[in-house]
Structure 1
Amino acid sequence: MSWSASLPIGLVSIAWLLVPGLLVTYGIGLRGIAAWAIAPVVTIAETAGLAVVARKLSVPWSAPLVAGVCGVIALVTATVAFVVRRRAPARPSDPRAVTLAAVLGLVPAGLLGVWTVVRGFGEPDMLSQTFDAVFHYNAVAWILDTRNASSLSMGALGVPGVPETFYPGAWHDLVSLVVLTTGTSIPVATNLVAASVALVLWPLSCLFLVRQVIGRSPAAMAITGVLSLGFTAFPWSLLGWGVLWPNLLGMSIAPSALAVVVSVCGLATDDAIGRARAWALSPVVAVALALAHPNVLFSVVVLAVFPVFTALIRRALRLRWRGVAEIAVAVAIFLLGWWWAATTPVFAAVRSFHWNPVATPSQAVGQVLRNATDGYDSLWLLSALVLLGALAALRSSNRFWLVAGQIVSAVLYVLSASVNTPSTQKFTGYWYNDSYRLAAMVPITAVPLAVVAILLLAKWIGRVSPAGWRTPVAVGLAAVTVAATFGLYLSSHITALATWYIHPFSDRSVLLVDGREHAFFDRIKAQIPPGALVAGDPWNGSALLWALEDRKTLMVHLDIATTADQDYLGAHLIDAATDPKVCPAAERLGVRYFVTGDNVFWPDSPARKKYPGLADPGGRPGFRPITEDGPLKLYEITACSR
């Protein structure tokens, strides 16, 4: 598929991300940047929450269901807002100059972002050649097959005999809606939703946070969009590495979530939403973050500590002993929450996840200062702006918390990247002790700090320039930054994506499905009845037969809970004609076909040795060859025919 042909699918993706939420945000009286930035937060909470409720009520998941329910929610919330309009009148729109600056500022951001995605993905239907992509692709296939999109069920992907478990499903719910609406393939829908999240949701979210921190500043709005796409750690790293699409979705709305916290705390400059609406939106924000990915909820909680305690300290200065008591209660709640999260069995598997350190502590500190986390290229000029912005923010009581948040994000990254011991896992375990996820936190505060720096430089220059030139000077400085860094480090960002989409084709050890195997899957689809289950070693790419061709496989992921029957077939299927236990297990599961291949994804992984029974049976009895293309073969299992 060409990029031009994918444009309508991209527009549908953006519509699903924004429109359900916009109906609510405008209905409750938000306007401008606030309405557009909070819209995806509402959309995520609505769609993922509805998926859970629909499952409980046994209502099949569908696009009309989501559209209808979201319409009803919009009508109800607008009615309530109308009834209480005297106490909470509609927020006034920002001056036209502010909104226009924000819109125009998104244009260069969009151009740089689209170019990065086009060059980094290669084609709209390219597969992410990563471990986690198998789960995410097949999770969408599971939704389409079962019409069950509940996060409470998703963890098992419908494996018979495996209990349903929680996995945050907002990402997969939204991708499934794009597939249901457009009829496109799962990989295309995935890529277009991912691009929409990175290029639309994240810049909007950053605009809103900057709007709350700095106020009605045309200069700030004009430069935020393009600066938001300058950091490799986010969105570009999570758009490729892992691949961490649910984290990508959640992190894209984290600045908006933090902006709501800033409003609740009374720290916003020319507040765009108001405290009453901020309080009302808080549970919606929490639901959206939790169902996008709980990692991001933890990220926002950590960053929110600083504006919350800033507000409490201010109250203490006014209320004295009552304020001190409030601080004591807040500290106790925070410590009890941290103690529970650090000890509860609920997060035990996540907390104990181990990654080998990738740097020494001093190297990790240098990486985060240069915004070169996890071995990415150094972003020298952008990092200098962040440091200058931090120095400027220290002089403002309303922005001091940004610096504290930046420091804590940096510390968490250093702990995960360079230490990662049981003692540090009490702090980094909620992100799987993963340096990539923690590095993605850094730009949340780095973007507004970089904006503060450019505004400061524009102010200095403005002292010797004509009055009213501050916005043009700020835009000029941003343009110089873009030019001096060759498109805000465009080549580095392209490489961050191409490493997982294009480059694997030159190294088969990191290639899950190549073009030849994909074409083979296309050909054999018609030879496999829709209800049949297909056996195959998931490590040779066969697990993606489900997502690519709607033919469910015996093994649906490279690492997921399995049943005794699955394990036995994985070890003994090629002995179907001689092992009396094979056919009963195959019949219980409905396995009738067997596909083989020769891909060598992660050849050194011990997990590859788990499936000796799914090797090519060759001339063994009990298997009838149907079609083949070299090592790629489709067999019918005749040994178990009744």
Structure 2
Amino acid sequence: MNWFEAVPALLVTAAWLLVPGVAISYLVGLRGIAAWGLAPMTSLAIIASTAVVLEMAGIDWSALAVLVVCVVVVAVAGVVGFLLRRRRIFAAEPDPRAVSVAGFVGLLPGMVLGMITIVMAIHAPDVLNQTYDALFHYNALAYIQDSHQASSLTLSTLGNPEVPGVFYPAAWHDLGSLVMLSTGSSIPVAANLVTVVATIIVWPLSCLLLARQLFGRHVGALAITGTLSLGFAAFPWDLLGFGVLWPNLLGMAFAPAALAIVFTVTRWVADDAIGVGRGWLAAVVAVVAAGLTHPNVLFSVGVLALFPIGARLGARAWELHKAGKTVRGIVEVVAAVLFAGLVWWYTATTPAFANTRDQYWPPFETPANAVGDVLLNATHRHEALWILSIVVIVGVFAARREWPILRLIVAGHVATTFLYVLTAAINRPDTKKFTGYWYNDSHRLAAMLPITAVPLAVGGILFIAAKLLARSAEGAEAPTGWRARIATTSSTTLIVTLAAALVVVTGGLYPKDREVRVTAGYAVPYPAQLVNSETQEFFQRIKDEIPDDALVAGNPFNGSAMLWTLADRQVLFPHFRSTQSPEQDLVAGHLDEVASDPEVCDAVEDLGIEFLLVGGGEFRTSDIKWEYYSGLDDPGSAPGFELVDTDGDSKLYRITACDIPSSDSDG
């Protein structure tokens, strides 16, 4: 399959993410950039919430069921929008068409550059990602396909009835399964398509909305935001290869839109396109979408939101002081600080986040080098993005002189830099209270940097253009009338020209760095792959030799777990570190003793295991968890196993040991 053949399915994926949200946006009075920028977040909130409700109601997950729910929600939004249309709660003037058109047209160059990177790094839409987390995400899609259930309340166990379920945000998997159900795409194709849409559509749209709220109806700013948004490698490109953190990527793709909502409700906007009333409603939607996509988004936006919220509290306290209500202002500020402190302390100490906080990644550079990485947008020792980084630094000066609202963005950028330095260069037990929400992982924290870097880069180009125009107009009278319109057009032309020059000089916004980061998750050399092409062919061959309802045991580290994804045959161990029952623990360590140990045989019968699959991969051979699966090695000619099929190191055995007693008694 090639990328051209995947275009129809790609459009369907985009439709799932955009159409429900856009319909609701327009019905509540939003238009243009505001309507489209909030759409993916709204659609995800509906889709993921529907998955939870359908399972609780005992209704199977299907594309038709989701469509029905979307129609109902859109109808309700239409009624609400009609009833509240004339109220101030929805007050905000739609943008002139030229403003929206400039923003949308400005998305196109970035989308082209982004798609080129995707095609160069992921040569075909059905190429497998060969990383640690990919196995869980693939098999989660397989589980949804088989069970017709997609709730975030039960997905974590992947259908294992032996262990209790815990919450796991499933929006990415819900969306991926809808792509499969509505297009017939395979699991690898659906996974890649969702990721592509999140990268080259959701993220630029989200950045465009943030720029719209920060720069107002500035045509030049909006025309260049979409392209610049795809030039920073730390996000979205790094998360396409590292992990692989697909749900995190999807959630962070709409993080700028969530931040735009914060600026809206705190009234730090240049020219509001949303409205404070709609902003509060959108904030509720954002919390639902983030919580069901990846809670990381809530923490990331929460950090960046501290500054507009804090600034609004400070401004309000000053207004109260001038009105003779100093004590009230102080009380409000102290109450807000205490509340924020209590929330931080709870999340930093509660057992609910213990597993997240206790993850450890060893530091890999000095604090000074980590700061330098941020300044040069070269996190994790990648290529320095010199010219783009200079533009961002110029944007810091623009915040000081030309665009004061960007000072809040600068503060957020500094805070993210601090958190990145903690993980990349220090990462001690005492720093976990600050970085534990991101698994103490520098990649997840680096992904926050472009949220603030994009508007700073836009501000930098605006600042440079303004200085060039001011120098060329020295001594001339201020233009009026048609001359003013020409001057505005000239300004926009210069801004777009500067952005275009940046793209050209950097060879397409540093495409090699983007490609290298993405390729890291796909071009894994054998035998460190999960499955190579020969193993994939073997899985397709043995699919007909395994009954549809059979359960297959195998060591996930040698690739056997991918049988569920690639051949739709359920495996006992669908991930490397899944929580297991005592019987499953026994099978993992002692299946090779099934002919001599009655307890193992009892466990095999209770669990319904019929086959053992031995793969040829050697994924993460240094992982201590390999020992846990020691009973699933190739049994060779050991009693209790019958060789069904083989291809090199890949072998399929039928477990016959537990049939022996019943056969003897019948005779």
Instruction: State the TM-score, normalizing by the size of structure 2.
Output: 0.94
Residue matched to 1:593: 611
User: For residue 239 of structure 1, what is the amino acid of its counterpart?
Assistant: L
Matches within 5 A, 1:126-165: 126-165=127-166
Residue matched to 1:367: 373
Render the CA deviation track for 1:474-523: whole Å, top value 9, x for unaligned. 11111111111111010110111112112x13x523x1111011111111
Deviation at 1:86, TM superposition (A): 1.1
Residue matched to 1:29: 29
Render the CA deviation track for 1:325-368: whole Å, top value 9, x for unaligned. 22221111111110111111111111111111111111111111
Q: Any conservation in 2 of the 1:214–1:269 contact (CA below 8 Å)? A: yes
Q: Distance in 2 between matches of 1:170 and 1:629?
A: 37
Q: Distance in 1 between matches of 2:258 and 2:330?
A: 27
Q: Distance in 2 between matches of 1:297 and 1:376?
A: 27
Residue matched to 2:460: 453
Mapped pair 1:108 → 2:109 = yes
In the comparison of the two structures, how many residue pairs are matched? 639
Q: Any conservation in 2 of the 1:122–1:501 contact (CA below 8 Å)? A: no
Residue matched to 2:393: 387
Deviation at 1:374, TM superposition (A): 1.4
Residue matched to 2:415: 408
Deviation at 1:591, TM superposition (A): 0.5
Q: Any conservation in 2 of the 1:20–1:67 contact (CA below 8 Å)? A: no
Q: Any conservation in 2 of the 1:246–1:292 contact (CA below 8 Å)? A: yes
Most deviating of 257-266 and 21-30: 21-30
Residue matched to 2:331: 325
Q: Distance in 2 between matches of 1:315 and 1:610?
A: 59
Residue matched to 2:52: 52
User: For residue 610 of structure 1, what is the amino acid of its counterpart?
Assistant: Y
Deviation at 1:281, TM superposition (A): 1.5
Q: Any conservation in 1 of the 2:262–2:305 contact (CA below 8 Å)? A: yes
User: For residue 195 of structure 2, what is the amino acid of its counterpart?
Assistant: A
Q: Distance in 2 between matches of 1:84 and 1:283?
A: 18
Render the CA deviation track for 1:152-193: whole Å, top value 9, x for unaligned. 112222212110111111110100110111111110000011
Matches within 5 A, 1:231-270: 231-270=232-271
Deviation at 1:575, TM superposition (A): 2.0
Q: Distance in 2 between matches of 1:475 and 1:513?
A: 46
SS at match of 2:645: strand
Mapped pair 1:526 → 2:544 = yes
Q: Any conservation in 1 of the 2:145–2:177 contact (CA below 8 Å)? A: yes
Q: Any conservation in 2 of the 1:540–1:599 contact (CA below 8 Å)? A: yes
Q: Distance in 2 between matches of 1:23 and 1:588?
A: 50
User: For residue 376 of structure 2, what is the amino acid of its counterpart?
Assistant: R
Residue matched to 2:384: 378
SS at match of 1:358: coil
Q: Distance in 1 between matches of 2:93 and 2:562?
A: 50
Change (3 A) 1:294 1:142: same
User: For residue 333 of structure 1, what is the amino acid of its counterpart?
Assistant: F
Most deviating of 618-627 and 523-532: 618-627
Residue matched to 2:499: 478
SS at match of 2:547: coil
Mapped pair 1:211 → 2:217 = no
User: For residue 490 of structure 1, what is the amino acid of its counterpart?
Assistant: P
Q: Distance in 2 between matches of 1:119 and 1:398?
A: 38
User: For residue 409 of structure 2, what is the amino acid of its counterpart?
Assistant: L
Q: Any conservation in 1 of the 2:13–2:194 contact (CA below 8 Å)? A: yes
User: For residue 246 of structure 2, what is the amino acid of its counterpart?
Assistant: W
Mapped pair 1:196 → 2:186 = no
SS at match of 1:594: strand
Q: Any conservation in 2 of the 1:23–1:71 contact (CA below 8 Å)? A: no
Deviation at 1:323, TM superposition (A): 2.7
Deviation at 1:90, TM superposition (A): 6.9
User: For residue 292 of structure 2, what is the amino acid of its counterpart?
Assistant: L
Residue matched to 1:499: 520
Q: Distance in 2 between matches of 1:323 and 1:414?
A: 35
Residue matched to 1:14: 14
Deviation at 1:115, TM superposition (A): 0.4
Query: Match for 2:568 among 550, 555, 572?
Result: 550
Residue matched to 1:622: 640
Q: Distance in 2 between matches of 1:91 and 1:328?
A: 32
Q: Distance in 1 between matches of 2:247 and 2:521?
A: 17
SS at match of 2:86: coil
User: For residue 574 of structure 1, what is the amino acid of its counterpart?
Assistant: D
Query: Match for 2:599 among 571, 576, 581?
Result: 581
Larger Rg: 2
Q: Distance in 2 between matches of 1:107 and 1:56?
A: 41
User: For residue 433 of structure 2, what is the amino acid of its counterpart?
Assistant: K
Mapped pair 1:172 → 2:173 = yes
SS at match of 2:234: helix
Deviation at 1:91, TM superposition (A): 4.3
Q: Any conservation in 2 of the 1:520–1:629 contact (CA below 8 Å)? A: yes
Deviation at 1:93, TM superposition (A): 2.9
Mapped pair 1:508 → 2:509 = no
Q: Any conservation in 1 of the 2:60–2:149 contact (CA below 8 Å)? A: yes
Deviation at 1:96, TM superposition (A): 2.2
Render the CA deviation track for 1:603-627: whole Å, top value 9, x for unaligned. 1111112111111111112211111
User: For residue 555 of structure 1, what is the amino acid of its counterpart?
Assistant: F
User: For residue 23 of structure 2, what is the amino acid of its counterpart?
Assistant: L
Residue matched to 1:277: 278
Mapped pair 1:346 → 2:367 = no
RMSD of aligned C-alpha atoms?
Answer: 1.2
Residue matched to 1:71: 71
User: For residue 563 of structure 1, what is the amino acid of its counterpart?
Assistant: S
Q: Any conservation in 2 of the 1:37–1:208 contact (CA below 8 Å)? A: yes
Residue matched to 1:444: 451
Deviation at 1:220, TM superposition (A): 0.7
User: For residue 110 of structure 1, what is the amino acid of its counterpart?
Assistant: M
Deviation at 1:558, TM superposition (A): 0.8
Q: Any conservation in 1 of the 2:535–2:616 contact (CA below 8 Å)? A: no
Residue matched to 1:422: 429
Most deviating of 83-92 and 623-632: 83-92
Query: Match for 2:490 among 452, 469, 486?
Result: 469
Deviation at 1:369, TM superposition (A): 1.1
Residue matched to 1:124: 125
Q: Distance in 1 between matches of 2:389 and 2:587?
A: 53
User: For residue 71 of structure 1, what is the amino acid of its counterpart?
Assistant: V
Unaligned residue ranges in structure 1 (runs of 5+): none
Deviation at 1:103, TM superposition (A): 1.9
Q: Any conservation in 1 of the 2:261–2:279 contact (CA below 8 Å)? A: yes
Residue matched to 2:665: none
Q: Any conservation in 2 of the 1:534–1:554 contact (CA below 8 Å)? A: yes
Deviation at 1:304, TM superposition (A): 0.5
User: For residue 497 of structure 1, what is the amino acid of its counterpart?
Assistant: V
User: For residue 352 of structure 2, what is the amino acid of its counterpart?
Assistant: V
Unaligned residue ranges in structure 2 (runs of 5+): 474-485, 663-667
Q: Distance in 2 between matches of 1:157 and 1:342?
A: 29
Q: Distance in 1 between matches of 2:539 and 2:96?
A: 55
Most deviating of 125-134 and 493-502: 493-502
Q: Any conservation in 2 of the 1:394–1:403 contact (CA below 8 Å)? A: no
SS at match of 2:643: strand
Q: Any conservation in 1 of the 2:203–2:229 contact (CA below 8 Å)? A: yes
User: For residue 339 of structure 1, what is the amino acid of its counterpart?
Assistant: W
Q: Distance in 1 between matches of 2:154 and 2:500?
A: 48
Deviation at 1:540, TM superposition (A): 0.7
